[in-house]
């Protein structure tokens, strides 16, 4: 179960993230992007058979099940999926993302305690973040800043 405060949630039985589905204009191109940047492993392609609402491919990325389905690209927003990576890999990852011609965003100013981030849009306007920090580190930093502001 996520967190410790489930309150009156009807979803208090969540065990873990099941999967992420991304709608993509070209699932082959997106699949290659996922393999190149995230080391995704392709498990299955429906090819021309439609089981759901369109053709789809199934991947595993860092233990996460990711589905890409054929469809129209989404509008750009700040909704994003973030993956934790080692900060020493940022220069290499940025170069690989640039080679693919993807749109890299300028990140916000951060304190070192928050971790480093690299934001970029894929071919279908999905925003991804590569982040070197953890939830515990972020909360510790925010609480310290909050305590200092009350002095």
Please identify which residue in the block is written with the tokens 């925010």: 142
Which listed residue (42, 56, 116, 137) is catalytic?
56
Rg (CA), the chain: 18
Q: Which residues fall within 8 angstroms of residue 63, CB to CB, at 6 or more apart?
A: none
Q: How far are the Cα atoms of 37, 74, 133 from residue 102, in angstroms, in the given order?
A: 11, 15, 23
Instruction: Collapse the DSSP code of 40 into the 3-class scheme (helix H, G, I; strand E, B; otherwise coil) and give the result.
Output: coil
106, burial (CB in 10 Å: exposed 0-12, middle 13-18, buried 19+) = exposed
Can 113 be counted among the known catalytic residues? no
Report H helices in 64-128.
90-99
Q: Which residue has the tokens 């233990």?
A: 63
Residues known to be catalytic: 56
């Amino acid at each position: 179960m996520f967190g410790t405060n489930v309150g009156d949630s009807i979803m208090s039985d969540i065990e873990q993230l099941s999967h992420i589905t991304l709608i993509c204009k070209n699932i082959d191109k997106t699949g290659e992007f996922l393999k190149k940047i995230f080391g995704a492993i392709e498990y299955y392609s429906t090819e021309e058979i439609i089981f759901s609402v369109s053709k789809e491919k199934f991947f595993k990325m860092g233990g996460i099940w990711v589905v890409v389905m054929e469809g129209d690209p989404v509008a750009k927003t700040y909704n994003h999926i973030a993956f934790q990576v080692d900060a020493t890999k940022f220069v290499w990852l940025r170069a690989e993302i640039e080679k693919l011609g993807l749109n890299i965003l300028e990140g916000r100013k951060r304190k070192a305690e928050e971790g480093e981030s690299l934001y970029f849009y894929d071919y279908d306007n999905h925003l991804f973040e590569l982040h070197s920090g953890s939830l515990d580190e972020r909360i510790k930093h925010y609480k310290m800043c909050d305590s200092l502001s009350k002095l």
